[in-house]
Structure 1
Amino acid sequence: MTTDQPVLMPPLPDMVIEPLVRAALAEDLGTYGDITTRTVIPAGTRYQASIRAREAGVASGLQLAAIAFRLIDPDLRLRVLIPDGSAFAVGDVLAEIEGEAASILSAERVALNFAGRLSGIATQTAAFVAETRGTSTRITCTRKTTPGLRIVEKQAVLHGGGFNHRFSLSDAILIKDNHIAAAGGIRAVLRAVKARASHMIRTEIEVDRLDQLAEVLDEGGADVVLLDNMTTPMLRDAVAMAMGRIVLEASGTMRLDRIAEVAATGVDYISVGALTHSSRTLDLGLDF
């Protein structure tokens, strides 16, 4: 397979994401393969097909779609016209595939599932990012991802112009309210971090009240404070209290219609779980 794709940002290595595509194809092909195609399409039938947008959005998942076609038939020729991270309009052709019709049809659903799902995440992320224009606030995702698909869903957030939060529990220390309750309070958890954590690990702590933020600022030991479910005036007060001494992340009830006013408070990051857990799959189709 040949792929002509201008690179807007470094893609993930194929070897990292190929197992995801391989598992999806195995699920779809079942125990006996594509019996419809094998029954009705004569061997040697060749066609050219297009992945076409039925609504506007931002592309993501075309790398996975290409892998799906390649795994089914390495002789298929695929040309990506609108690469991951690029905006497209209704009717635009994202990619063209040429070769055995049976191979194209057998890979079609898995390819479109990945491209539609991930383009939906990229598109929703781009909408949130647009609400932060004119500020220095960044939109970031969370770990509220589809089990097994975190790496590609977080890549889709990058394609939409967002940023990534932790990929796993081992990436950084994130002290939530339950950690604080179990450990005996804010000062107790921060002192434990200062005593035990590696100097290579960053620490974030969650607070939902301004007096808790004051306690964190007084104690020290955190790099980032997660301001959870605070009102916009509270977020503004938190920024004033911190005076740039610590990174501030707003989280909780971060709907699209609220992002502009939250970004205007001066917080550094807004984390949005909905980017990955509630984005709608974009409508893409494959046409012969």
Structure 2
Amino acid sequence: MGPPWLVADNLWERIKPLLPVRERRRRYPGRLPLDDRKCLQGILFVLHTGIQWEWLPQEFGFGSGMTCWRRLRDWNAAGVWDRLHQALLTELHRAGELDWSRAVIDAAPPGPSGRPKTGPNPVDRARPGSKHHVITDGRGTPLAIALTGGNRHDVTQLLPLVDAIPHIRGKRGRPRHRPDRLYADRGYDYDKYRRLLWKRGIKPVIARRGVPHGSGLGTVRWVVERTSAWIHGFRRLRIRRDIRDDIHQAFLKLACCVITYRRVLSFQSASPLP
């Protein structure tokens, strides 16, 4: 296998139709734009290594860091990562590789930062930071992700994340976007949100505050903690370095796409040959 930032042919076939078409000026068209695939590899290089945009190595043919930054900004604004993530989840759903019987939610802070969408982290000596909120299926596949300030309570993103799960079409029937049960730790222990989950047809399984540890939910919740570790395995997401919150969110969504794509590859390699 090559470096992780190389874009394989089967991945590029999924991404290319989603990219917005750039219209070229008839008069004074200027230089030809850099190849989208090379720009995507440059973006993935920054995501994996965490280097600054201006340090992007030119010998790999990525183009300038500013060009890759603009493509990331424009593609995120066009909803490319959201549609790619939904398409990859659809592949998993049609193959029976999504566990809708339960979902798990959790939040994890990256390193401190003073950027937008940050706040004084109450568990880190009030240093300014952000939080990554993620909800996964029962196997740890990310279904939705959100970015907030470090001072936002975890429970404030429970319903937004549940509602952000895309509608996934299967072979038959209506699109699926609701798990049967939702598992969460004590930070989500509020009866108000339990009632709201019941109204959405989701059974809440949330640990109670004020009771001794040992609820047994760790045997189920560990998948979301593993997914958070995968997300922070991308060095660009370990510490909030991006000034603009939409760029950091774009990296978050792209990381979810990469993790989901790995799940697609794993079940395709495990499936028997026809």
TM-score (normalised: structure 2): 0.31
Q: Higher strand share goes to which structure?
A: 1
TM-score (normalised: structure 1): 0.30
Q: Which has the larger radius of gyration?
A: 1
